[in-house]
Amino acid sequence: MSLFKQFESISAIRFQLGLKKTVFTHSFLAATALFLTSCWRETNLPTRIPTAIPAQDEAGMIATATLTPSPTPEPTSITILSPGEYSVIDLGQPVEFVISATDPNGIRLVTLTSNGSNIGTFQDVEQNELNFNQEWTPNYAGTHEIIASVTSRTGQLTSAEPITIRVVDSQMLAQNAPIWANVEGNVNEIRGLAALAPIEPILLTRAELKQRLQADFFYTEEDAQRDVLVMHAFEFLPRDFDLYRLTHRYLGDSLIGFYDPATKEFVVLSDDKEVNPLEQWVFAHEFMHALQDQHFQLSLITDTTLSSETNLAIRALAEGEAELVQEIYIEQGFFTQEELIDIFNLISRTRQREVPNIPSVIVNSFLFPYTVGRDYAETLYLQNGWEGLNVAWQNLPQSTEHIIHPDRYLAGDLPEIVALPPLTDTLGIGWTRLEEATLGEFLLREYLGQQLDETEVETAATGWGGDRYAVYWHQDNEELVMVLRQTWDTPADKDQYEMAFTKFAGSTYGSQGQTQSDGGTCWRGGDALCFYPSAGQTVTVRAPDLETAAAVAAVVKE
C-alpha cells in the first residue's frame, strides 16, 4: 500500500477521509478509505445443532434443507443457484437463496453471508451433498455481496463465487422521486451532461451505514502497524500511534454520502428517509460523480496499474469538478434563502461531530482533492468552460503537481520517472521492504511543512520534478530505513530545496548537520538523517546509523 493510499485508508477510516472500496465520499470535514475489501465470517455455533439453524444476525430468516447422499463423491464445490447476479430485491420482501454444495470428505458446515454478516447456517450435515434453501429479508437498501461457503469434515473451507444483489426501497424512491428529478435536472443544466442510464439513489440512516461499514471493514492490527512504520519514516506519526484503534473507533462518523462506480451505488445519509436541503446538495455532488462514471473514466481513481500519485490526481479532478458544480448550484439560486440557512445550520452541526486530534497529514490528505482539486477544476473552467473539464478527462492529470499547478498540467509538464535499486542485499539479513512508491509534491509539502513555514515550503517544493521512495524494516532490531530520491526542474530548484531541507532536518533533529566523507550531510537524533545533493537530483536517507545511511546512499546514487 503506497503512502498516499495509507493516508487515504486512514482518511477513509470513515471520518470520512476517503473511499470505501471504489467509493467516492463527501463529508464536511471537507477521505482514503480504506480501499476496503469485503470480508466474511462464520458464526460460532455449538458442536451439535439440529439440522436447520436460523442465523441470529438479521431478522426474517427461515432455513430448510434437503439431504441427498452422494453415491459418487464429486470435487468440493459450492454454488449459489438463485437468485442471479445483480438481481433487484425490494426492501422488506423476502428472497430465497438456493445453494448446492458437494464435498467428497463430507460436509460439516455451510454458511451464507451478506456483506460479511451471517444470514444462514447449516451445520453437522455428515453427508457429501447438500441442497440448501435459505430465506432472508434484507433490512437495509443498497448493494449486498452474498457469499456461500462450505467447510468439510477435514476443515477445508471452500467459497462460492460471490453474487451481488441490489436491494431498493421502492417506497422511499417514490416518495422522493420529484426531489431527485429536480436536482438531477439542475445538475444536468449546470454541467451540460445527461445521465446515460437511470441512477437510483439510496437513503441510509447513520445506524444502517455503521452496520454496513462494520461488516465490510477489514483492517488488521498488522496492517495498521505496517502503515504507522511507513508514515513514521517521514515523521508523520510516532511509532506508537494507535492507528488501528483510531480507524475502528470513528468508522463512518462524518460520512454524509458516497458514490461507488464499481457497483453504481449512490448513497445519501438521512436519518428520517426524507431529503432535507443539505441532503439535496450532497445529492448534487454525488450525482455529478455518477455522471463522471457514465461519461468518463472515474474508475481510474483506483486503477492499480497507475501510481498512487496519479490515482490521487484523478481523484482531485473528480472531486474538484463535483465541488465546483455544488458551488454553482448555490450561485444559480436553486435553493431559497430559508433552505440555504438550513443547509449551513446542518453543516455546522455536522462539523461538531468531527474527530479531534487527528494528525494533520491525514486531514490534509482528505482535503486535498476537494480544496486544491476544486481550484484546479475552476482554473480549467475559467479558461475553457466545461469543455476544459471534458478535455481533462480525456487527458488526465498525472501528478499532484498538475493539480497544485494547473499551468504545468496545461503546458504538458510530465513528472520524471525515478527508479530505486533494491536494497535487501545492501542492508543484509532480516530487512524487509515495507513500501516503494512516489511521494509527490503534495506529500512533500506535508513532509516539509512539519518544520517550515508556508513560504519556505512553497519555495522548496515548487521545483519538484519526480521522486521515488522506499521504506525498509528490521523486525528483530526494530530498525527502519527510508530512502527518497528526487529530481528537480532546474539546478536552481535543487539548490532551493537543499537550503530548505537543511533547515528542516536541523529543526527535526535539533542539531547541526555534519559533513561526511562521502559528500553527504547528516543529522543525528534517534536515527541518522542524511542528505546527498548531486547534479540534477537529491537523495535523502534515514537509517539507524551513519554507516547504514552511507551504504544505502552509495547504491542509490550510482
Cα(272)–Cα(276) distance, integer angstroms = 9
**Strand-pair partners of 66:** 131
Radius of gyration of the chain (CA): 27
What are the DSSP E strand ranges found in 225-351?
257-260, 265-269
Q: What is the pLDDT of residues 3-25, one digit of tens each?
A: 544 444 433 332 232 333 333 34
237 DSSP assignment: S
Strands 95-114 and 77-82: antiparallel
**Amino acid at site 339:** E
Cα(431)–Cα(425) distance, integer angstroms = 9
Q: Strand order of the sheet with strand 537-543?
A: 431-437, 464-474, 479-488, 537-543, 528-534, 521-524, 514-515
Q: Which among 175, 168, 171 has a CA at the least distance from the CA of 198?
A: 168
Phi, psi of 266 (to 5 degrees): -125, 105
Q: Which among 467, 470, 457 has a CA at the least distance from the CA of 404?
A: 457
Cα(165)–Cα(97) distance, integer angstroms = 11
Strands 88-90 and 163-168: parallel
Q: What is the pLDDT of residues 171-220, one digit of tens each?
A: 888 888 999 999 999 999 999 999 999 888 888 888 788 777 776 777 88
Tell me which of 115 and 292 has the higher pLDDT: 292
Q: Which among 429, 331, 301, 317 has a CA at the least distance from the CA of 376?
A: 317
pLDDT value, residue 1: 55
pLDDT value, residue 59: 38
Q: What is the mean pLDDT of residues 518-522?
A: 96
224: three-class secondary structure by DSSP: helix
pLDDT value, residue 377: 99
Q: Which residues of 50-60 are buried (b: 16+ CB within 10 A; e: fewer)?
A: eebbebebbee
Cα(76)–Cα(130) distance, integer angstroms = 12
Tell me which of 273 and 123 has the higher pLDDT: 123
Q: What is the pLDDT of residues 259-294, one digit of tens each?
A: 888 888 888 888 877 789 999 999 999 999 999 999
Q: What is the mean pLDDT of residues 111-139?
A: 86
Cα(244)–Cα(270) distance, integer angstroms = 28
Domain architecture of the chain: domains with CATH: 3-37+172-410 (no CATH), 52-161 (2.60.40.10), 424-557 (3.30.200.100)
CB atoms within 10 A of CB 21: 21
Tell me which of 377 and 30 has the higher pLDDT: 377
Q: What confidence tier does 75 reach under pLDDT thresholds 50, 70, 90?
A: confident
Cell representation of residue 325 = 458544480
Place of cell 438521512: 270
Q: Which of 5-14, 72-81, 308-317, 478-487 shows the lowest per-residue confidence on average (mean pLDDT)?
A: 5-14
Phi, psi of 188 (to 5 degrees): -60, -40
Q: What confidence tier does 543 reach under pLDDT thresholds 50, 70, 90?
A: very high
pLDDT, averaged across the chain:
84
Q: What is the mean pLDDT of residues 412-439?
A: 97
For 163, the enclosing helix (H) or strand (E) is strand 163-168
Cell representation of residue 519 = 559528500
Q: What confidence tier does 536 reach under pLDDT thresholds 50, 70, 90?
A: confident
pLDDT value, residue 252: 67
Q: Which of 56-70, 309-323, 394-408, 532-546 shows the lowest per-residue confidence on average (mean pLDDT)?
A: 56-70
Contacts made by residues 157-163, CB under 8 angstroms, sequence distance 24+: 158/76, 158/77, 158/78, 158/103, 159/40, 159/78, 160/78, 160/79, 160/80, 160/99, 161/79, 161/80, 162/38, 163/80, 163/83, 163/84, 163/85, 163/87
Phi, psi of 82 (to 5 degrees): -155, 145
The per-residue DSSP string of 44-96 comes to: P--SS--SEE--SSSSS-EEEEEE---SS----EEEEEESPTT-EEETTS-EE
* pTM for this predicted structure: 0.81
**Strand-pair partners of 24:** 259
Cis amide leading into 83 (omega within 30)? yes
397 neighbors 317 (Cβ within 8 angstroms) = yes
Cα(441)–Cα(400) distance, integer angstroms = 6
533 half-sphere exposure, CB direction, 13 A CA radius: 15
* pLDDT > 70: percent of the chain: 84
Cell representation of residue 442 = 503534495
For 3, the enclosing helix (H) or strand (E) is helix 3-11
Cα(287)–Cα(168) distance, integer angstroms = 17
